[in-house]
Structure 1
Amino acid sequence: MNKQELKSNIYFFLAAAIWGFAFVAQRVGAKYLGAFTFNGVRFAMGSLSLIPLLIYFKKNEKQTHEKKVNYKYELKAGAIAGCILFLASTLQQLGIYETTAGKAAFITGLYIVLVPILGLFLKHHTKLNTWIGAILAVIGLYFLSVNESFFISRGDFLEIVGAFFWAAHILLIDYFTKKVDAVKLSFIQFATCSILSMIIALLTEDITMYGLTKAIIPLLYGGICSVGIAYTLQAVGQKHAKPSHAAIILSFESVFACIGGILLLNESLNLRGFLGCSLMLCGMLLSQLKVSIRHSNKSN
Structure 2
Amino acid sequence: MRLRTDVLLEVLEGIAPAFLAEPWDNIGLLVGHPAEEVRGILIGLDPTAELLAQAQTLHCNTVITHHPAIFHPLKRLVYDLPQATLLRQATLAGLQLIACHSNLDNVCGGLNDLLAESLGLERCRPLQPLTADGAEGAGRIGELAQPLAPEEFLALVEATLTPPWLLAAGRPPQTIRRVALCGGSGSFLAEAAWRLGAEVYLTAEVKHADARWAEAAGLWLLDAGHFATEVPVIAALARRLQESLPPAGADIPIHIAREQPPLRLLSSGTSRRPSHISGEHA
Shorter-chain TM-score tier = 0.3 to 0.5
Say which structure, 1 or 2, has more relative contact order (CA 8 Å, 6+ apart): 1
TM-score, structure 1 normalization: 0.31
Q: Higher strand share goes to which structure? A: 2
Q: Higher helix share goes to which structure? A: 1
